[in-house]
A and B are shown apart, each in its own frame.
Chain A
Amino acid sequence: MTTSAAILPAALRPRHHLSWLGVAPFFLFATLFLILPTLNIVIGAFRNPQGQVTLDNLGKLLSPSIRSAFWISFELSLLTAALGCLFGFLIAAAITLGDLPRWLRNGILTFSGVASNFAGVPLAFAFIATLGRLGFVTMLLRNWFGINLYGSGFSIVSFLGLALTYLYFQIPLMVLIITPALEGLRREWREAAESLGATGAQYWQLVALPVLWPSLLGTLALLFANAFGAVATAIALTGSSLSIAPIVLFAQIRGDVLNDPHLGYAIAFGMILLTAIANGIYILLRMRAERWVK
């Protein structure tokens, strides 16, 4: 096939339908394995077993056991998101503004990449080995400092234990997201503020935080969704002894509990709703944040 360069664009044009063929597998795949399954759940949440439209399933979410599961999940996600943001911010601020050696800064960023992906079953095992009844830190505290952790009511299989474990992937995620935003704070802004007589606290209150708050709040929302959807860590850590929403849904799907698929649909719909709102907030605030940090 010898085509001269002059007629090439014309030769390209009739093949335009070919590029639609090129993206067709993607759309087919996304429809079959992402969109239809999700729609099936959402529609199922509003249908009764006879196929009629109903709000009964969502009403069942208000039953005490389900409501408390959602509430614990909500508290757990919000607490770990807030603490993750706070500690992640402090670490990110330390490595961007704190004059730390460069190797330490790079090391922390690399480690954050690893730790934010080290979630799930192995993370739960690491915390059981550390803060479990015979864990490393539990024994250390008992033998060296005479502190009996489990005697004081602590248990790794508890709300507090789960929160401590979740922070292991929440804090690094915050570090990874907020570090670029902190790097976007221009040195001139600080110098300008100082030359106008502002103290450090005034600079943060009047300049830095107003610029950063969309990033901070957006990341809070992202971390919330991140914790809310986490299932494997919780199951490996607590079995099913702590009733949080994803674990209740897991048990529903397995059919361990009363087998009512439409209640399962409703729980799943509740989870989608919360994570979608949280992610929506994240995306909106991120767009706002990018106006400043360029």
Chain B
Amino acid sequence: MTGKRIWPWLAVVLGGLYFLLPLAGMVDFSMRMKRGQYSFEAYRIVLADPQFQQTFGYSVMLALLTIVLGILLVVPTAYFVRLKLPGLRPIIEFITLLPLVIPPIVIVFGYIRIYNTSSVLPLTGTWLGTNLLLLFGYATLALPYMYRSVDTGLRTIDIASLTEAAQSLGAGWARILAVVILPNVFVSVLSGAFLTFAIVIGEYVFAALLNVNSFGPYMVWMGGNRAYEPSALAVVAFAITWACMGLIQLVTRFSRFSTVRR
């Protein structure tokens, strides 16, 4: 029997070593900037770097806009498909799976070919167009996560009754979606939103190929030109990923709590 007990611990300890050593290495390296002592010098330099502030702020802004666009695209669609157009469900599910199947680098390559300066819709020609294209690209990458989480949320509420109740009180469709449906699936929307945030914040390929100086390309530039700062950036990025996943767990626990109470 004791032989049976040892292998799970062995698997977990070896796995733990593999997964914790790079984290330890990253933290250790990020603090070795000053010779012979541990310090937060690399963090101080990174945080004070105007390039960091600018690219990081830009990526945060873009991530938030991606979430808003994702909600606007996905919530009405998932709602109408559940309520009125169930026949469309397989098609919509297939489309929302595509961004996981087609490598992102291929999607952005398509953007560059279709929306270049010599095309009908020359989005890459202007500053605004390029940023919009990046936003649309990120919303595309976020589709699978946003759709799945919103659809799961809609499954738990009785949208037909809610809709009829709101209509009998004289609400129009926009009002029903914004005031009745969205608050009811808000917790599910949030978990999709945090996942989207974690994906968008350090994204590199889209931004680099569209020549946008966001946080991802900034990190790669630092990686090629500095020694200790990249590790500090990696620690920051890891903390953001942790925070997003932690928040997802928190809101799902909260939602379970509120369903039980209802």
A68 CA / B155 CA spacing, docked (Å):
48
A117: which B residues are within 8 A, CB to CB? 195, 198-199, 241, 244-245
12 contacts between A and B (CB under 8 A): A41-B113, A98-B5, A100-B12, A121-B220, A121-B223, A126-B25, A171-B15, A231-B204, A236-B219, A249-B106, A250-B209, A272-B103
Pair B103/A23 contact, Cβ less than 8 Å: no
Closest residue on chain A to residue B72 by CB atoms: A25
Q: Is A124 an interface residue (CB 8 A)?
A: yes
Closest residue on chain B to residue A239 by CB atoms: B224
| B230 CB, nearest partner CB in chain A, Å | 4
- Check A130/B21 contact, CB under 8 A, given A108-B12, A225-B101: yes
Q: Is A153 an interface residue (CB 8 A)?
A: no
Q: Is B105 an interface residue (CB 8 A)?
A: yes
Query: Once A and B bind, how many residue pairs between them come within 8 Å at the CB atom?
Result: 266
Q: Is B98 an interface residue (CB 8 A)?
A: yes
Pair A272/B11 contact, Cβ less than 8 Å: no
A36: which B residues are within 8 A, CB to CB? 110, 114
A25: which B residues are within 8 A, CB to CB? 72-73, 76-77
Q: Which of A40-99 contact B (CB under 8 A)?
A: 40-41, 44, 87, 90-91, 93-95, 97-99
Give 13 new A-B contacts, CB below 8 A, not counting A129-B30, A250-B205, A279-B101: A1-B170, A25-B73, A29-B140, A34-B95, A34-B107, A90-B11, A100-B8, A104-B12, A125-B230, A126-B25, A127-B22, A231-B104, A254-B209
Pair B21/A137 contact, Cβ less than 8 Å: yes
Pair B205/A100 contact, Cβ less than 8 Å: no
B111-143 near A? 1/0 per residue, CB < 8 Å: 111100000000000000000000011011001
Q: Is B80 an interface residue (CB 8 A)?
A: yes
Pair B114/A40 contact, Cβ less than 8 Å: yes
- Check A275/B102 contact, CB under 8 A, given A94-B12, A125-B233, A126-B22: yes
Pair A122/B234 contact, Cβ less than 8 Å: yes
- Check A110/B245 contact, CB under 8 A, given A26-B74, A232-B204: yes
B72: which A residues are within 8 A, CB to CB? 25
- Check A129/B29 contact, CB under 8 A, given A19-B83, A23-B80: yes
A271 CA / B109 CA spacing, docked (Å):
12
Partner-A contacts on B (CB < 8 A): 5, 7-9, 11-12, 15, 18-19, 21-26, 28-30, 72-74, 76-77, 79-81, 83-85, 88, 92, 95, 97-114, 136-137, 139-140, 143, 164, 167-168, 170, 173, 195, 198-199, 202-205, 209, 216, 219-220, 223-224, 230-231, 233-234, 237-238, 241-242, 244-246, 248-249
- Check A271/B29 contact, CB under 8 A, given A22-B76, A108-B12, A121-B204: no
Pair A130/B8 contact, Cβ less than 8 Å: no
Q: Which of A37, A99, A254 contacts B107, CB < 8 Å? A: A37
Partner-B contacts on A (CB < 8 A): 1-3, 5, 8, 11-12, 16, 18-20, 22-23, 25-26, 29-30, 32-41, 44, 87, 90-91, 93-95, 97-100, 104, 108, 110-111, 113-115, 117-118, 120-131, 134-137, 167-168, 171-172, 225, 228-229, 231-232, 235-236, 239, 246, 249-250, 253-254, 261, 264, 268, 271-272, 275-276, 279
| A148 CB, nearest partner CB in chain B, Å | 18
Pair B25/A93 contact, Cβ less than 8 Å: no
| A253 CB, nearest partner CB in chain B, Å | 5
Pair B113/A37 contact, Cβ less than 8 Å: yes
A26 CA / B93 CA spacing, docked (Å):
12
| A170 CB, nearest partner CB in chain B, Å | 12
A26: which B residues are within 8 A, CB to CB? 73-74, 76-77, 92
Pair A110/B28 contact, Cβ less than 8 Å: no
- Check A126/B26 contact, CB under 8 A, given A120-B216, A249-B109: yes
Closest residue on chain A to residue B243 by CB atoms: A114
A34: which B residues are within 8 A, CB to CB? 95, 98-99, 102, 107, 140, 143
| B81 CB, nearest partner CB in chain A, Å | 7
B248: which A residues are within 8 A, CB to CB? 113
- Check A29/B234 contact, CB under 8 A, given A23-B80, A229-B103: no
Q: Which of B25, B101, B136, B223 contacts A136, CB < 8 Å? A: B25
Q: Which of B19, B114, B143, B230 contacts A115, CB < 8 Å? A: B19
| A163 CB, nearest partner CB in chain B, Å | 13
A12: which B residues are within 8 A, CB to CB? 167
Closest residue on chain A to residue B76 by CB atoms: A22
A2 CA / B169 CA spacing, docked (Å):
8
